């Protein structure tokens, strides 16, 4: 994949140094992805000065782009080695998908499903500008994207009250999964599919925007700020 021009490289390198010192980066391949994917391309123009700060940023439509440390944590949990086919639920502006696409490389695929049509178009535009070949589709993440399954890894970028069975079914045996489970205030749950079921580990608390559509269906909602919280150690 041809990389975009290395704009704002000093800021990118400082962000990487901060993530490394915080214990969020210990994989050279992920370090390369976090350095080379231009986060400023994916955030609104009025917020681009803050693109390389380690915090979530609003992207419109009541949504955010996750803080880089959260993207690093979730990407690490997927344990990607290259060549995998990955399902992302919740494209947003496309930044996290671009990181994962870098990890799976030219032989891998990232299929991403986004509920909001406005974000589908925005993500496609951003990914094209960043020269990242992610396949973005409009749809409800509750049903995943079965026509391309099974997937080597599945991850969800928004708060979900429960893990849909469809996502478990579309994950191959031994495949990795991660999602914030809860309503706004969540537990970051990661694990593998073993014996047809997810075996999960709680990585700690976090705060995410709630999923849209059937994926986010729940009887009650909490009214919290839609930003990520650093999971507790």
User: Which residues are part of the catalytic machinery?
Assistant: 66
Here the tokens at position 173 are 């045996």
Which among 183, 148, 181 is positioned nearest to 163, based on CA atoms? 181
Q: What angle do CA 14, 127, 162 make, to 5 degrees?
A: 90
């Amino acid at each position: 994949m041809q990389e975009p021009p290395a704009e704002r490289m000093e800021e990118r390198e400082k962000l990487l140094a901060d993530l490394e010192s915080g214990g969020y980066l210990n994989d050279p391949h992920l370090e390369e992805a976090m350095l080379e994917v231009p986060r400023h391309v994916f955030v609104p123009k009025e917020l681009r000065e803050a693109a390389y700060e380690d915090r979530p940023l609003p992207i419109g439509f009541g949504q955010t782009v996750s803080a880089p440390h959260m993207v690093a944590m979730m990407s690490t949990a997927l344990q990607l080695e290259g060549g995998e086919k990955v399902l992302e639920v919740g494209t947003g502006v496309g930044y996290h998908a671009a990181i994962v696409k870098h990890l799976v490389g030219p032989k891998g695929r990232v299929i991403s499903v986004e509920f909001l049509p406005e974000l589908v178009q925005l993500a496609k535009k951003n990914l094209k500008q960043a020269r990242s070949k992610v396949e973005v589709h409009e749809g409800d993440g509750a049903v995943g994207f079965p026509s391309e399954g099974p997937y080597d890894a599945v991850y969800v970028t928004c708060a979900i009250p429960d893990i849909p069975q469809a996502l478990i079914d579309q994950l191959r045996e031994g495949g990795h999964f991660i999602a914030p489970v809860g309503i706004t205030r969540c537990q970051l749950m990661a694990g593998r599919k073993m014996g047809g079921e997810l075996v999960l580990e709680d990585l700690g608390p976090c705060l995410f925007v709630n999923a849209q559509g059937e994926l986010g269906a729940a009887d009650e909602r909490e009214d919290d700020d839609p930003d990520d919280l650093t999971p507790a150690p």
